Every structure is written in C-alpha cells, then in structure tokens.
A and B are shown apart, each in its own frame.
Chain A
Amino acid sequence: MTGTAGLGPLVDPGPDLGRAELARYARQLALPGIGADGQRRLRAARVLLVGAGGLGSPALLYLAAAGVGTLGVVDDDVVETSNLQRQVIHGESDVGRPKTASAAAAVREINPHVDVVEHGVRLTPGNALDVLAGYDLVLDGSDAFATRYLVSDAAEILGLPCVWGALHRFTGQVSTFWAAPRARDGDEPRGVTYRDLFPVPPPPGASPDCATAGVLGAVCGTIGTTMATEAIKLITGAGRTLLGRLAVHDALQGTWRTLTVHPDPDREPVTELLSGPGDAAGTDPYAVFCGIGGTGQHPAGLSAAELAAERDRGAAPLVLDVREAWEVAADPFPGARTVPSGAFTGPEAGRVVSDVAGWAGGGVVHVLCASGVRSARVAEELGRAGIEARSVAGGTTGTGRR
C-alpha cells in the first residue's frame, strides 16, 4: 500500500503570529486541522509556483490569501491580452509586463505578510536545481511537457513534493507527486512521480497545447485552486493528499473521478537532470527528450523581428505561419503563407507538405507560430521531407516584434 494517509506536516511552525495576522486568518484559525499551529506552518512555508499562467494564477491568489509566508514565481513570459481570459492574477493594465512582476504586485496587494520571490527566467537544466532548492514544495503549473519532466526530475533530486496540475479544453488532471514522502509514523513508502505515470512524453503534436486546443478559464480555476488546497494540506498535515491518486475533472460532464496510481517498481530513481550534447542554444535536453528541441544540427533560425526587418529591406523570406486561423486573424504576420500546424499531421499532410515544397522551390522556409513549439514540430516534419525548414525561435511573441 502506498502511503496516502499519515503524511506529517511538511513544514515546522514558525514564530507566533501577530495580532494583525490573527485577525486576518480568523476563519482559517477556526478550522480543525489548521488552527494557530497550522497557520504558523503556513507562515513558515516556502512554496514555488512554476508558471504564473492559467493554473498558477488561482493557486497564487489562494496561497497568498491563506498566508503562505514565501511564494516564489517562475515565469519568463510577459502578460498578453489572450492570457486574461484565464490567468486571473493579471489584469488589463498588466499587458506587456513580466508575469512575475504582475503576479508579485497582485500577491502584495492581497496579503502584505507574504514575501514574493520573482524568478523571471525560463526553467532550464542549468538553473532548475538552484531555483527549486530552498523551497518546501513546488507547484507545477507549466504548459509544456519538457518543463513538466524537468520540474519532476528536479523535485525528485531535491526530495520535494510536486503538486501537479494539467489542463486540456474542459478537463483537468491534478495530483501530488513525491518520490520519497516523509511519513508521520517513520514508515517511508516509495511515492509516485510524474515519471511513474508517464515515463516518456507523447510524440510531438500528439497532445496539443492550450493555444491550439483551447482551454476554459474556469477549469483553470478549478484545477489551480485544487492545487492550492493540496499545498495547504501538505504544509499543515491536514487531511489526505492526492499522493498515490490522480483526480480527473471533466467540466462538461460535471464529474470528478479519482484513479489510484502506484509507483513503478522497475523505475530507476532520478539522481541527475538530463544533460545534452552541448550547451549551444536550442539544445535543451528536455526539449530534445520531448522531440521538440533542436538537436544541435539545425542552423539557428531567424527571429520574427529579424524576418520582419529582412522584409523591410526588400527581401522576401518565405514565412510559413502555422498558427490557427483565429490567432493569425488577431495578429497577422504580413506576407506569410498560413497553414495550421494540425494540417501537417492530418490526412492531408502529404499534399500540404508538397505545397510547402512548391512554395520553397528549394529555398529556406521559416516556420512561425506563437511561441516556437508548434513551429519546431512542423519544421521537423518538413525536414524529414527534405525541405530546408527553420523554426522561428520564440515565435511571434518571443522577441518583441511589436
């Protein structure tokens, strides 16, 4: 039996609370299982959120309000208008601001007793252990498989629990992963991690991201808030966490279903992060592991800004925009040919690839999407067909084209 009950509180209580904090947390102090002792544990807790997006926003809001003493936020994106439908910690006046700064300001407004640490970086194998070290637990609200595996591995190496949530359209999954849970009774059963459930990522393109598939904002709230509750349960020892279980929410059906998940006895423990053949740009070993990164053999692609500059100089680089029609309509890239990324894996893939080959006429194709993920995938497909295709690093949003 994997220990799902009997986890002790993760965090030791901090000093006594002042009068202002006692007044603020009155409704929480009244709760069995939390009380003044639990509130002091929350005050002493250090929680890291990876991603201040759809999941990170509600989780941050509730953890800040609940009085978690230190909240770290990792994100290297800036707030965009298309985020506001679901990333509720950011507002209209935050558009263009770094998400870490926007989130930190919101947290301070909600609860001045919380210290916010801004990590305005993209998590990489080079910095992940440094960023995660010193926190008591991590909440993974990132939006790419590569980051998911990186966070899982770093948390396992550091012995941290990882509260994990993921979204797809109207459904969400949430669990608590912890390779080596600390149990109250001294019994230390092997815990479950993301790798026990999904040892390898799906093929690129098999599981579309939010930009392609869409996601309902309120579902982000449901799953992100559940992640906050898991964090509070872990910190205070209240209740029964989702360690050893995975909860699946289907908003359209109005159901929550829970799966039991066991560790894979044959899985080797993770003791170091994946490492790549070199440290050149575009060789993140986690991106390669997920089939979306450069392998180091591809020439570096131009950025969207550089392509626009080339066009302004009178050159006519072939830009293949693989975003969805609605994304193109909202922010067209002038002069680009448009074919949504899904067409390259659908039944018409052969015809579409030969269209692109015709447009290219033996020349270079610059493949463009919003962030560089879909374009990398399509560039791989085109490369297999013998077309010289380069993914536009960072996509339309990455390099400040505007």
Chain B
Amino acid sequence: MIQVRYFAAAREASGTPAEEVSGPTTTGALRAALSARHGPDLGDVLPKCALLVAGARAATDETPVPDGATVDVLPPFAGG
C-alpha cells in the first residue's frame, strides 16, 4: 500500500489528513486515482500541488511510486 498524506488546502479538499491506496503505481496514475476518488474539489487543487514521493518532488507523471512509499500532497501558498 501507499500512504498518501494531504496538507493544507489538499487536506480540506480530500476531507482527510491521510489515506492508503494500492501500489505500486506512478505519480500520474496516482493523481488520476485520487481525483477520481475525491471528486472535483481535490481535482481542482491537485494539479497545483507538489507530490513528494519519499520526500523527493516528482518531476514527471512517470515518476514511480513504489509499494510502501509515503506520498505527500503539498499545495503552494505565498501569503505572508
């Protein structure tokens, strides 16, 4: 399983701080699966978020997500 953790606006949109999805997969497939699971609220936020696979930002949709990995979904914000 893959542990997905949501932060800030992504947490609000998904309604949960964390959940598990089956793996292995790729970041592109994971984005699609999470959008399908949570609907348009998360679908709007997700494309703006960095996906960190075990702490490293996934640069492309083909980035592998191994089974057992933690993926952090982090939206950007700049307010100060």
Q: Which residues of A contact B (CB under 8 A)?
A: 51, 53-56, 140-145, 148, 165-168, 171, 173, 196-199, 201-203, 206-207, 209-210, 213, 215, 246, 248, 250, 253, 255, 257, 259-262, 264, 266
A-B CB proximity, top 8 nearest: A260-B55, A168-B77, A143-B80, A167-B79, A210-B79, A202-B48, A171-B8, A141-B80
How near does chain B come to A300, taking the closest CB pair, in angstroms? 26
Residue in B5, B17, B78 with the greatest tally of chain A CB atoms within 10 Å: B78
B80 adjacent to A248 (CB under 8 Å): no
Question: Is B28 an interface position by the 8 A CB rule?
Answer: no
Query: Please, which residues of chain B bring their CB within 8 A of the CB of A261?
Result: 52, 55-57
Known: A140-B80, A253-B17. 14 other contacts (CB 8 A): A51-B80, A143-B80, A145-B76, A145-B78, A165-B80, A168-B8, A197-B74, A199-B57, A207-B48, A207-B77, A209-B78, A248-B74, A261-B52, A262-B56
- Residues from chain B with a CB closer than 8 A to the CB of A142 are 78, 80
B31 in contact (CB, < 8 A): no
What is the CA–CA distance of A250 and B12 in the complex, to the nearest angstrom? 11
Main secondary structure of the interface of B (DSSP, over half): mixed
* Chain B, Cβ-Cβ closest to A261: B55
| A248 and B76 contact, CB distance less than 8 A | no
B48:A259 contact, CB within 8 angstroms: no
Q: Is the CB of A167 within 8 A of B77?
A: yes
Inter-subunit contact B80/A257 (CB<8 Å): no
Given A253-B17, A262-B55, is A166 in contact with B74 using a C-beta cutoff of 8 Å? no
Closest to B53 in A: A262
> How many Å lie between the Cα of A198 and that of B52 in the bound state?
11
Contacts A171-B8, A196-B57, A206-B48 given; does A201 touch B76 at CB 8 Å:
yes
CB atoms of A56 and B80 under 8 A apart: yes
Chain B residues within 8 Å of A, Cβ to Cβ = 5, 7-9, 11, 17, 48, 50, 52, 54-57, 59, 72, 74-80
A-B contact count (CB 8 A): 96
Supply 11 A–B pairs (Cβ within 8 Å), ascending by A.
A55-B80, A165-B80, A202-B76, A253-B11, A257-B5, A259-B52, A259-B55, A259-B74, A261-B52, A262-B55, A264-B57
Cross-chain contact B55 with A248 (CB below 8 angstroms)? no
Please determine whether B78 and A207 come into contact, CB atoms closer than 8 angstroms.
Answer: yes
Shortest CB-to-CB span from A37 to chain B, Å, is 32
Q: A197-B57, A257-B5 are in contact. Are A166 and B48 (CB under 8 A)?
A: no
Complex Cα gap A248–B5 (Å)? 12
**B72-A259 in contact (CB<8A):** yes
What separation, in Å, do the CA atoms of A198 and B48 have in the docked complex?
Answer: 10
Residues A259 and B7 in contact, CB atoms below 8 Å apart? yes
CA distance A56 to B80 in the complex (A): 8
In the bound complex, do residue A197 and residue B50 qualify as a contact, i.e. CB atoms below 8 Å apart?
Answer: yes
Distance of A369 from chain B, by nearest CB (Å): 15
Residues from chain A with a CB closer than 8 A to the CB of B11 are: 250, 253
Q: Cβ of B5: which chain A residues have Cβ within 8 Å of it?
A: 257, 259
